[in-house]
Structure 1
Amino acid sequence: MGPFRPDLLKGKTVLVTGGATGLGRAMAEGFARHGASIALAGRREEKLQEAAEAFREAGHDVFVQSCDVRDPSSLSALADALDERFGGVDVLVNNAAGNFISPTERLSPRAVDAVLNIVLHGTFYATLEFGKRWIAAGRGGTMLNIVTTYAETGSGFVAPSAAAKAGVLALTRSLAVEWARYGIRQVAIAPGPFPTEGAWARLAPTPELAERMADRIPLKRVGDKQELADLAAFLVSDYASYLNGEVVTIDGGEWLQGAGQFNSLLEVTPEQWDRLAELTRTGGKGQ
C-alpha cells in the first residue's frame, strides 16, 4: 500500500498521458490505490484496454481513450470526454515520452522530431489544453511533469531527449509563477534509471549496458517503480500543496556521481553502435 493513507487522493481525478504501460501505468496504479479516479491516454488502443481491464479487476474507477499528444485536436477531444465523464480532471501527469540512444551526428531531422514532438510539443499542448480549461472554469489543479536528471546538465547520445526535457523543465518553472494565481500548481520528477520493458530495450538493449548503468549509481541498483509511484502520489496530493515549481530527483545518487546519464557511451565503438541500432529497432530481440 505504501507509506500513505488509503484515501490520500480520494475525490481527485488524475489523467496520465502514456499511462497504459511502463512508469505511467505504475504511477496511475499508485494513484488508484490511494482513492483517485484514473484516466489513461495513449496511442495504442490494445494497451489501453489491457490496462483498463486490470484496473477494473482491482476495483478501480478508470477511463481510457486513445490520444496522440502530438495532435492538439486529439487532446481537445480527450478533454471533452473527460469533462463529460468526470466533470474535468484535477491532476494532469505529462508522462508520454520517447527516447533512444544514438550518436547525434547519426540523427536525421525526422529522428529529432520523433522525440521533440512527443516530449516537448506534446507536454506543452496537453498543458495548454487543460490549463486553459482550468483557468476558464475558475478551478485549480496540479500538473506533474516527468523530466529527467539530464534536463539540467545535458547528456551525450540522447541530445533530442535532453533538449526536449530541458524545455519541459523550463515550462514547469515558468508556469509555477505565471499560473499560481489561478490555483494551478506545477511539480516535476526527474527519475534516474527505472527499468521498463519498452524504454529499457531502447536505452539499455544489452545486459552489459544495463549492468553498466546500475554500476554508476552510488546505491548500486536501479529504481523500483513503486518508489516512483509513491513519490508521485505525494506530489499530487494536498499534503504537497506548498510545493510549486519544484523538481524532485529520484536516482539513487546517480546525478551526483556524474552528470550526463549516457556519457559513458563514449566507449562504444562504431561497430557496436551499428549493432545497438539494430537492437533498438527490434526492441532488444535477437540478442
Structure 2
Amino acid sequence: MTNSPAYDFTGKVALVTGAASGMGLAAARGFARNGAAVALLDRSADEVRKAAQDLGDAGHQAIGIACDVTDENQVAAALDRVASTFGRLDMAFNNAGIQAPPSDAAEETAENFDHVNAVNLRGIWAAQKHELRHMRAQGSGAIVNNSSLGGLVGLPERAAYHASKHGVIGLTKSAAVEYAPRGIRINAICPGVIETPMVAGMLEGQAEAMAAIMQDQPIGRLGTAEEIAAAVLWLCSDASSFVLGVALPVDGGFTTH
C-alpha cells in the first residue's frame, strides 16, 4: 500500500459499498489493517464473500454481504445485519458506482441516465440514509461518499455521469450541515483517473478519450486504489475531526486547471 499513516480503529466498525474490487476493496483492507471490523457490501455475491473471507483468513473481523445499492430494501437489510453482527457502525465509505457510456447530450437515452443515477446517486443516498439511522443513535460516526473529478468539472459526452457525481456532492454537503451538530461528519472524495478494473475497461475501449484525459493529469500517471483508500481513512479518522462537507479532489492535479 501507499505510505499512509497508521490509525487506531480498534473497536470500531467500518462499512464499504462496492467493496469487492478497486477502491472499495483497498479501503476495506485499510480499515481492517488498522484494527476495524469491516462489512463489505457488493452486488457480486461470490466476489464480496471471497474478499471478506480473505480478510478473515488474515486475522481480521469481516463479513461480506451481497447488496444491490439501487434497491433500498437490500441496503436497509444490509445495515441491519451489520448492526446485529457488530453492534455499531462508526465509519462508512459509500463507493459503489458505475460508468456510463459516452453519449452526445442530444442523444442520451433515458435508460442510460436513469441507470447511472440509480447506482451513483440514489445508491449513495440510500446507503447514507440507513447509515445515519444507526449512527445518530450513537451520536457519532464518519461517512465518506465517492464522487469523482466528474463531480467538479464537465467533460464532453459525460453529462449523465457527471450529473450523478455532482449530485453526490450536493447530497454530501446538505447532510453534512444537518448532521454535524449530532456528532457525525460527512465528506466526499473526488478521485481522478484511478487504476481500477472499471478504468481498465475505459482505457481499452476509449483509448483516444483517455489519452486526452491523461494529458490533463499533471502528475502524469494513473492514481492507485490505495491512494484513494488513504484519503478515505484520513477522512474517517480523528485526524480530520474539523473537516466536514468537503469534496476533496484526489486527482493528481486534474482539477487545478
TM-score for the superposition, normalised by structure 1: 0.83
- Say if 2:110 is the partner of 1:105: no
Match of 1:92 in 2: 92
Name 1:153's counterpart in structure 2.
153
**Native 8 Å contact 1:99 1:161 kept in 2:** yes
Larger Cα-atom Rg: 1
Query: How many residues get paired?
Result: 255
Tell me: CA distance 1:168–1:100, structure 2 relative to 1, closer, same or farther (3 Å).
Answer: same
- Amino acid paired to 1:243: V
1:118 matched residue in structure 2? 119
SS in 2 for 1:60: coil
> Structure 2 stretches of 5 or more lacking a match?
none
Aligned position for 1:225? 225
What does the per-residue CA deviation read over 1:47-104, in whole Å, with 9 as the maximum and x for residues that have no partner?
Answer: 1122123212322211111111111111111111111100121112110111133123
Structure 2 CA distance for aligned equivalents of residues 123 and 252 of structure 1: 24
Instruction: Output the amino acid matched with 1:254.
Output: F
CA RMSD after TM alignment: 1.8
- Which SS does the other structure have where 2:60 is aligned? coil
1:119 partner letter = N
- How far does the alpha carbon of each residue in 1:225-248 deviate from its partner, in whole angstroms, 9 at most, with x for none? 221121111110111111111121
% identity of equivalent residues: 32
Q: TM-score, normalised by structure 2?
A: 0.92
Are residues 42 and 11 of structure 1, via their aligned partners in 2, closer, same or farther at CA, if it must alter by over 3 Å? same
4+ residue runs over 6 A deviation: none
Shift of residue 143, structure 1, vs aligned partner: 0.8
Separation (CA, whole Å) in 2 of partners of 1:206 and 1:175: 36
Moved more, 148-157 or 186-195: 148-157
Matched, 1:18 2:27: no
Residues 170-197 of structure 1 deviation map (CA, whole Å, 9 limit, x = unaligned): 1111111111111111111111000211
Matched position secondary structure for 1:105: coil
The residue number in structure 1 matching 2:68 is 68
Amino acid at match of 1:219: I
* AA of the residue aligned to 2:108: L
> What secondary structure is seen at the aligned counterpart in 2 of 1:14?
strand
Q: Could you say what secondary structure the match of 1:10 adopts?
A: coil
Letter in 1 for 2:75: L
Could you tell me how far apart the structure 2 residues matched to 1:152 and 1:160 are?
A: 14
